[in-house]
Structure 1
Amino acid sequence: MTTTAIAADLQAAIENCAREPIRTPGSIQPQGFLLVIDEASMTVVQVSENVTDWIEIAPSQLLGMHLDDLVKSGSAFVDQLSDLDEDQLQAFHVGDTTLIQGERAGQLFAMMLHRNDGVLIAEFEPASDASSAHGRLYPLIRSFISQMREDESVDELCLRSVGFIKRITGYGRVNAYRFDKEGNGVVNAELADDGYDKYLGLCFPASDIPQQARELYCANRIRIIADVDYAPSPIIPAHNPATGQPLDLSFATLRSVSPVHLHYMRNMGTGASMSMSISIVMNGQLWGLISCHNHAPRDVSFQTRTACELLGRVLSLQVETKGAHLRSQKMLSLRKQIVQMLGAMADHDSVLNGLKSLSDVFLGFVGASGAAVVSDTECDLYGLTPPQNQVHALATWLNNRQGSDVFHSDNVGRDIPNLPGLAKSIGGVLAVSISEVHSNYILWFKPEQTHVVHWAGKPEKVVDVSGSLSPRQSFAKWHQTVEGYSTPWDETEIEGVAELRLAVLGIVLRKAEELAQMATELKRSNKELEAFSYSVSHDLRAPLRHIAGYAELLTDMEQANLTERGQRFLGTIGESAKFAGTLVDNLLSFSQMGRSAMRLSEVNLAAMIESIKREMEPEYQGRTIEWITGELPIIVADPAFLHLAMRNLVANAIKYTRNEAVAVIEITAAETADTVTVSIRDNGVGFDMQYAGKLFGVFQRLHRMDEFEGTGIGLANVRRIVERHGGTVKAEGVLDQGATFSITLPKKHLSPVAR
């Protein structure tokens, strides 16, 4: 048989096991008998077949018998049953149990009565004297509870519980299990007589207990199997008359056991068991079990089982209380660290700088060995982390995934298979998004921790010849080396990270509101500045022209009367006045740029460039310029504004290549589905890229006036024009090797009316 076929058979067997009717087995264990009573008629509607062995009445005689007749017949031994009035019966909830004791032929019997499946289910077992049992068990339980200490660990508490249960039940071996998140159980406490296998510290796979069995352990806290080789007693009739279905025995003590589980117990060499029967439940979930075993069949009285169940409930409450206390302590510590980090962020007015200033607190927040803060523009790494490119790839993966804002994994190779390189650096990752808009993340990393798991037998299921699931044959210690995992992330750590996210988002939101307010104020200030610059520029034009004009007239009229020095002074006055006039004209043009309305139309870029070249011929007459013009598209823009922007860029290329024997100016365009980028490249003086951010500012110059003339406003005009079109500008250069200026404009379409 192929591996695929074996796997398919195994999966089918597991699914069949999951569907096994463990709540409705149709039979009971024979250490007692069962009667099912219809509440409306108070008649017996179902019985266990072995009832004759106990009270010498055939099932056929009991079925349909009224409860009063059963009590008055003299054959019954539970005369107290007649004392149950209607109010007492109505007080029962589903699964509630009461005990009534009676006697027949000197033998004490106990009836456990509960309501379920629309009927009253009465179970009868031999019982010891209740008063003597109470006198023996109550002091033990009181002593157990009184010895509890606040500093007692959960494992120590489980060990005391195991000792108490072993003492009152007399079983040869008692174990306590606790389950991990995957449902695997580890034996954390054990007491065993000589001759019993020891399982302390060993693991049992989650598949040993199917999900439906786990749910049943939460509903019915105690379970007994007196003899693994018992012959089950069928229920007559098989179906509950109230439902037409097999009787639901979820809360019945005598409920028959799954054959697979009995096979499992035999393989462990166990003759009798309360195996996996005292449930430890925390927050409604199965936290653990206390399991008892004995080589020989052994019965345990109802009173003893009740004491064990009470202890199980006390233990559950203690485990839950201790867990809540530890969680509260851990959350308190995490919140103190959150306050520290938020304080640092506030002091530095930055999330990134705040975390950087408290790197030790940030790194140790969740017990990680490495951490990273990733934003659109930065990636800060702390401690032991993957390479930066892998951290960026992880942030991209997180941004594309669907799910919660907090992601955690203790095995990245398993959970993030499309980033195989990540698993070579780390074992676990905890990530949280700190922006609702951008791909910004805080990440913590843990290294892989190779460890050895000690299993009670090889945790593999086998399918027998009938196609049924067969429990493993051996429970001898089996070692498994587990790789690829980090230590798990604690639930409180994950919750703490979620709280940190909310706090950071609050800071980011407040910062965004402050920036929005600043942007509004800046917009108002810009408008006021534009109005001021327009007014000043307009008012300065006339006096500057007067200065330049009168200086020129004075030169013409009085040149013969002026000394050489005076003529030089007068020439300087005229040149300065002309430059100031040009500066004012450019400033006026710049201020008008934000005030003039945009008038869009189709612009032929190729024709515009040819027009600009003709306009500027006087500027490069006598020079050798090699013009390289690519294919330029027709775009939609404001023709006047775009002409001014392109003229400025071409003029700069001509100006800054004047020292080259052969100037090369290349004008090209590149298109995407949404944009057009026009680039003007030259082989001139270039510039140092560290000053690229200054180029497009007003009055910003990278060269002295005696090297290259200019007012420092041209490129500022270019940026304003392009941004008004919804585009961007970019400059790249290398000193003495030329520069490239690019403008990127969005593609726009004219409406039919505009055409």
Structure 2
Amino acid sequence: MTQAPAPALDLSACDKEPIRTPGSIQPHGFLLALSPALEVLQASANLGAMAGIAAADAVGQSLAQLIGADAHARIAPALSGGTLGARPFYVGTVTIANGRHFDVLAHAWDGVLLAEFEPVGRAHPADFRELYSLIGDFLLKVNESVGIEQLSQLACQHIRSVTGFGRVMVYRFDGDGHGHVIAEARDESYHAYLGQHFPASDIPAQARELYTLSRIRLIQDANYEPAPLVPPANPVTGRANDLSFAALRSVSPVHLQYMRNMGTLASMSVSLVVRGKLWGLISCHNAGPAPVAFEKRTACEQLGQILALCIETREDASELQFRLEVRRVMVSMLGGLTKSADFVDNMSAVFPELIRFARAGGVAIVADDRVLTYGDTPSIDQIQALVRWLGVHGHGEVFHSERLSAVYPPAHDMMDVASGLLAMPISRIHKHYLLWFRPEVIHTVEWAGNPHYKEQPGAPQQLSPRTSFAAWRETIRGASMPWHSAEIELTVEFRTALLGIALERAEQMAELAEELGRANKELEAFSYSVSHDLRAPLRHIVGFSDLLLESAGNEDFDKRQRFLKNIKEAARLAGKLVDDLLSFSQMGRAALRPATVDMRDLVEACIDEMALELRGRGIEFDIGELPHVSADPTFLHLAMYNLLSNAVKFTAQRELAVIRVWAEDTPNESVFHIADNGAGFNMEYVHKLFGVFQRLHRMEDFQGTGIGLANVRRIVERHHGRVWAESVQGEGATFSFSIPKNPETE
């Protein structure tokens, strides 16, 4: 077989190509863009070859004039019935005026009706009995296939038997977007890719997004000449047509060259979408051109959707089992943490369980200058240096990395024991940390071609399709086994439980202390919050845990997931309250350590720390020129974080939240303002604003513990500054505080 020469390609920006609006179609069928009255607005340039009427002459005609009265009568009710959606729908098989037979697919998109005509050798409608036999046989064997790989192998075999493609693969995407071939069915003459990896760069981000929207795509012949649309612009929108869901949509010339480089002239891809995300692909290849009728494509698409559902079910079951095992270890640990009054001694007594909890190689407890280790860990000096680094860069409830040396260069010297790190701060004020270490796991990845070919000497510097798919092995170093999402989430729960134990100790100490004035009021509010605010989420945790245990033998995974979600939300709320209580309690005792603080860096660090709660929100931060001040950086960070978080919370009901931060310079102090366009508050109650457990809004409207602003006041006052606020209810609020330029020593 003689392969057509590759067309000239502009490879400078293939990842930005308009793949949804290519302006043309694959020529194995023709496309018409129709008005609601079924008048032809556009036609593909190959219309003349298939229907005997030039595309330019067809524009303006009625559909009946173009394809004949009988054909029009067969499909017009479906086209004009107003029931078409975004995905192509089979509306029938017609014989047009020139005697040729076509399957007709139609969908409504981009302001027009898109009708696609694919030639067939029969006059009767498509026979979907193959769909039932394929799906029925697959479903019968699903229960026999326990693992995802076995299910995927079964799907490959079924799809290959239906389509006749020479090779069918299933590959899944990892966290970095690389594809790993986990199943394959092929003719012996085809190269095997089973077990190999395809680099993420093979599929640009916009193509992945389109795979998620449009679940199947066929390329019959990679050597095709695209058939442009006439006229080029959609008459309704004035722009190139969006052909995202069109079965005949033309594809990127870069991808066609990629196929030819791979020795593939026909391909079909079926998307595997799990929980709304592109989990992987069923990829079909053939050395020569290969048409696949619509009914066969439908069967393959349906099988792909069933496979995706099976994958989701098995992953959910595996996830649930893993979480239950980790939770059992956590419960066992907590039972041993109340034996004595010394927290560190209690923690060291459960070192073996701590190792099992995080599947780690070593664990360390750091309490200021005291460091206790167990298992394979870095040296004491290395751990202390790491904790200092975490104090600056590890803000948040948990820090985790499976490639620590990539973010913390000194970790290169301890990769054998600490390529991976899971770090949990136990205090916001003191340098108290629980650290888990995982050793380096050296492994070899087999790629289908060198994924770093662009980095080779003499390689082209612009984007281009790969030319080699020969097996290429790469040894991966410097990385540990990745941290499971459940391990990270349950570590946050474990931290909440530890802080609860610490809170219980703090209560016992408070009963022995003599409190005066405001301290007595704070203790009273503290007791009320513990008895009311904290018990509510704890009751939820206990109740839903009982329900989860009762449903252990139940196959209703949705119910289990709901129970786990409720447990997680209750634990998060309890943990937030405990964190805030402890921070407020520690605020009056910990010594200030003044240093020069760059306030702009501090504000940007706070915004970075809030990245998760900002996700999905429309927020505009306007940060003015901010001076340096002399203050305790840890305390000041906490105060600024509370004020910014407050602004984010109370602008939640705004489509676009605007948060401004600016400063004023006076002879004796630096004054900072944080303003928002949120809900604001009634100035009649401003005197309550900075009190402990004072809420000026309903808990149902704006969740919170009522401690954050009290922390701000205490921090600012310990720096001998002032704090105040102004607001117009419904129009936003401005919170202000000052830091003296010549701070007094405590």
Band the TM-score falls in, shorter-chain normalisation: 0.5 to 0.7
Residues of 2 paired with 1:250 and 1:138: CA distance?
A: 28
- Equivalent residues in 2 for 1:127-166, closer than 5 Å: 127=120, 133-149=127-143, 152-166=146-160
Q: How many pairs align?
A: 510
Contact 1:29–1:256 (Cα < 8 Å) also in 2? yes
Q: Name the SS for the 1:245 alignment partner.
A: coil
Residue 217 of structure 1 corresponds to 211
Q: Name the SS for the 2:242 alignment partner.
A: coil
RMSD over equivalenced CA pairs, Å: 2.8
Q: CA deviation at 1:205?
A: 0.5
Aligned partner letter, 1:311:
L
- Give unmatched runs, 5+ long, in structure 2: 1-9, 518-717, 719-741
Residues of 2 paired with 1:317 and 1:749: CA distance?
A: 65
Residue 107 of structure 2 corresponds to 114
CA gap 1:354/1:311 in 2 versus in 1, 3 angstroms? farther
Residues of 2 paired with 1:150 and 1:136: CA distance?
A: 22
Contact 1:462–1:470 (Cα < 8 Å) also in 2? no
Q: CA deviation at 1:466?
A: 9.3
CA gap 1:749/1:385 in 2 versus in 1, 3 angstroms? closer
Contact 1:461–1:471 (Cα < 8 Å) also in 2? no
Residue 43 of structure 1 corresponds to 39
Residues of 1 paired with 2:191 and 2:459: CA distance?
A: 29
Identity %: 42
Residues of 2 paired with 1:163 and 1:520: CA distance?
A: 77
Matched, 1:126 2:119: yes
Residue 729 of structure 2 corresponds to none
Deviations, residues 666-700 of structure 1 (Å, cap 9, x unaligned): xxxxxxxxxxxxxxxxxxxxxxxxxxxxxxxxxxx
Q: CA deviation at 1:135?
A: 2.4
- Equivalent residues in 2 for 1:304-453, closer than 5 Å: 304-349=296-341, 351-401=343-393, 403-417=395-409, 419-423=411-415, 425-453=417-445
CA gap 1:56/1:504 in 2 versus in 1, 3 angstroms? same
Residues of 2 paired with 1:310 and 1:748: CA distance?
A: 71
Residue 58 of structure 1 corresponds to 54
Q: Name the SS for the 1:288 alignment partner.
A: strand
- Equivalent residues in 2 for 1:319-718, closer than 5 Å: 319-349=311-341, 351-401=343-393, 403-417=395-409, 419-423=411-415, 425-462=417-454, 468-520=462-514
CA gap 1:386/1:511 in 2 versus in 1, 3 angstroms? same
Matched, 1:285 2:277: yes
CA gap 1:151/1:51 in 2 versus in 1, 3 angstroms? closer
CA gap 1:490/1:150 in 2 versus in 1, 3 angstroms? farther
Q: CA deviation at 1:501?
A: 1.8
Aligned partner letter, 1:382:
Y
Contact 2:130–2:296 (Cα < 8 Å) also in 1? no
Q: Name the SS for the 1:123 alignment partner.
A: strand
Q: Name the SS for the 1:36 alignment partner.
A: strand
Deviations, residues 264-317 of structure 1 (Å, cap 9, x unaligned): 11111112111xx11111111111111111111110000000111101111111
Residue 546 of structure 2 corresponds to none
Q: Name the SS for the 1:102 alignment partner.
A: strand
Contact 1:460–1:472 (Cα < 8 Å) also in 2? no
Residues of 2 paired with 1:186 and 1:314: CA distance?
A: 20
Contact 1:345–1:352 (Cα < 8 Å) also in 2? no
Q: CA deviation at 1:123?
A: 1.0
Contact 1:154–1:322 (Cα < 8 Å) also in 2? yes
Residues of 2 paired with 1:337 and 1:14: CA distance?
A: 54
Q: CA deviation at 1:15?
A: 7.4
Query: Which residue of the other structure, out of 93, 108, 115, is the alignment partner of 1:101?
Result: 93
Residues of 2 paired with 1:433 and 1:465: CA distance?
A: 46
Residues of 1 paired with 2:391 and 2:173: CA distance?
A: 34
CA gap 1:151/1:191 in 2 versus in 1, 3 angstroms? closer
Aligned partner letter, 1:122:
A
Contact 1:390–1:421 (Cα < 8 Å) also in 2? no
In terms of mean alpha carbon deviation, does 505-514 or 465-474 score higher? 465-474
Residue 703 of structure 2 corresponds to none
CA gap 1:398/1:97 in 2 versus in 1, 3 angstroms? farther
CA gap 1:78/1:354 in 2 versus in 1, 3 angstroms? farther
Aligned partner letter, 1:226:
Q
Contact 1:412–1:422 (Cα < 8 Å) also in 2? no
Deviations, residues 604-653 of structure 1 (Å, cap 9, x unaligned): xxxxxxxxxxxxxxxxxxxxxxxxxxxxxxxxxxxxxxxxxxxxxxxxxx
Which entry has the higher C-alpha Rg, 1 or 2?
1
Q: Name the SS for the 2:431 alignment partner.
A: coil
Residues of 1 paired with 2:403 and 2:302: CA distance?
A: 40
Aligned partner letter, 2:418:
I
Residue 18 of structure 1 corresponds to 15
Residues of 2 paired with 1:93 and 1:17: CA distance?
A: 30
Q: Name the SS for the 2:259 alignment partner.
A: helix
Residues of 2 paired with 1:320 and 1:45: CA distance?
A: 43
Contact 2:401–2:422 (Cα < 8 Å) also in 1? yes
CA gap 1:157/1:390 in 2 versus in 1, 3 angstroms? same
Residues of 1 paired with 2:484 and 2:144: CA distance?
A: 22
Aligned partner letter, 2:242:
D
Contact 1:99–1:112 (Cα < 8 Å) also in 2? yes
Deviations, residues 527-573 of structure 1 (Å, cap 9, x unaligned): xxxxxxxxxxxxxxxxxxxxxxxxxxxxxxxxxxxxxxxxxxxxxxx
Q: CA deviation at 1:350?
A: 5.2
Residues of 1 paired with 2:380 and 2:431: CA distance?
A: 15
Residues of 1 paired with 2:744 and 2:151: CA distance?
A: 77
Deviations, residues 466-487 of structure 1 (Å, cap 9, x unaligned): 9752222211111111111111
Q: CA deviation at 1:377?
A: 4.3
Deviations, residues 197-249 of structure 1 (Å, cap 9, x unaligned): 11111111010011101101000010100001011101111111222211111
Matched, 1:177 2:171: yes
Residue 273 of structure 1 corresponds to 267
Residue 649 of structure 1 corresponds to none
CA gap 1:234/1:383 in 2 versus in 1, 3 angstroms? same
Matched, 1:298 2:290: yes
Aligned partner letter, 1:370:
G
CA gap 1:467/1:415 in 2 versus in 1, 3 angstroms? closer
Aligned partner letter, 2:106:
L
Residues of 1 paired with 2:143 and 2:391: CA distance?
A: 48
Deviations, residues 302-359 of structure 1 (Å, cap 9, x unaligned): 0000111101111111111111111111111111112111221134455433332222
Aligned partner letter, 2:373:
L
Q: CA deviation at 1:151?
A: 6.2
CA gap 1:456/1:467 in 2 versus in 1, 3 angstroms? closer
Residue 77 of structure 1 corresponds to 71
Aligned partner letter, 2:109:
N
CA gap 1:67/1:366 in 2 versus in 1, 3 angstroms? same
Q: CA deviation at 1:512?
A: 2.5
Aligned partner letter, 1:319:
I
Contact 1:461–1:470 (Cα < 8 Å) also in 2? no
Q: CA deviation at 1:69?
A: 4.8
Q: Name the SS for the 2:249 alignment partner.
A: coil
Q: CA deviation at 1:748?
A: 9.6
Residue 27 of structure 1 corresponds to 24
Contact 1:49–1:233 (Cα < 8 Å) also in 2? yes
Residue 238 of structure 2 corresponds to 244
Deviations, residues 425-484 of structure 1 (Å, cap 9, x unaligned): 421111122223322222111111111111111113559999752222211111111111
CA gap 1:131/1:419 in 2 versus in 1, 3 angstroms? same
Deviations, residues 351-398 of structure 1 (Å, cap 9, x unaligned): 433332222221011211111122224222111011111111111211
Contact 2:75–2:91 (Cα < 8 Å) also in 1? no
